[in-house]
Amino acid sequence: MKTITLGRTGLQVPVIGVGCMRLNSLSKKNAEYFIKTALDLGANFFDHADIYGGGQCESLFADACMPHSRDKIILQSKCGIRPGVAFDFSKEHILAAVDGILKRLKTEYLDVLLLHRPDALAEPEEVASAFDILHNGGKVRNFGVSNQNTFQIQLLQRFVNQPIAVNQLQLSVTNANMISAGLHVNMLDDAAINRDGSVLDFCRLNNITIQAWSPLQFGFFEGVFLNNEKFPKLNAKIQETAEKYGVTDTAIALAWILRHPAHIQPIIGTMNEKRLTDCVKSAEITLSRDEWYAIYLSAGNTLP
């Protein structure tokens, strides 16, 4: 598996991350097999969150992963969401959440901790204090955020001593506004609307790794676009490209993201070993410029 450097951390991670949001849909036996398959493929970066399955996904992962050495696995988790209640980046909540994550994952440390979405009431000084305690205590080695815009990250980084290494953002060929806005600069069409403060360019300038969540989804968890009758042109173009490279449509859809020079790390959500294998094969493909743009346009995106 090819690797990239995660932000400014020096940590080498696979170009494909394994998302564990649906891990609790598997039995312990099947979870063990899935994790072993991922590790055998070199996909040893696992993305969690304390709210996934109400904590069950982390607990199941720990039980299913017991035979494997901790230093062979890269663990990332997220905190800050109190479902249906609030976003909470208070020092007290962050520290308590991480203790819960570590207990469920049966580990002494996280390789990466992300703040899960923005908190309107976040006080960056409190976040900085929590990060210092976690980092100095050896509980968290690296930090990042999710779904934050450029100014939110800059505000946080002004107070936080550790570099913000990651920004996890929704991105797929059908949800590509962060790319489209950069193509439609100075235009009056909808694609030109800058909804995120040019977060793609900002992260590149500041060496922050973008992790793409829902890289095969359209809308907000509305479903996958592959083999979906809503996207006939896109699927025809992806299938044509897949046949050329001798891989599946899944591999091409992810290769489209990997082709971008920002070195984006897709976080895949499959719990199927065969599809996982297909996903990993995307790391072996480098689409040409014409192929990349052809797929982009077939999804309904436009050029000015």
**Please, are residues 176 and 299 in contact by the beta-carbon 8 Å criterion?**
yes
pLDDT value of position 67: 78
* 29 phi and psi angles, rounded to 5 deg: -60, -45
Q: How far is CA 176 from CA 5, 208, 257, in A?
A: 23, 18, 10
| Annotated active-site residue in 33, 52, 293, 296 | 52
Give catalytic status of residue 52 as yes or no: yes
3-298 homologous superfamily: NADP-dependent oxidoreductase domain (3.20.20.100)
Distance CA 201, CA 194 (A): 12
**What burial class does residue 161 get, using C-beta atoms within 10 Å of its C-beta: 0-12 exposed, 13-18 middle, 19+ buried?**
exposed
**What burial class does residue 203 get, using C-beta atoms within 10 Å of its C-beta: 0-12 exposed, 13-18 middle, 19+ buried?**
buried
Residue-wise pLDDT tens digits, 269-300? 999 999 999 999 999 999 999 999 999 999 99
Judged against a pLDDT cut of 90, whether residue 66 lies above it is answered with: no
Residue-wise pLDDT tens digits, 145-196? 999 999 999 999 999 999 999 999 999 999 999 999 999 999 999 999 999 9
pLDDT value of position 276: 97
Q: Does the reported pTM lie above 0.95? A: yes
Residue-wise pLDDT tens digits, 4-51? 999 999 999 999 999 999 999 999 999 999 999 999 999 999 999 999
pLDDT value of position 51: 98
The residue extents of the domains of the chain are: 3-298
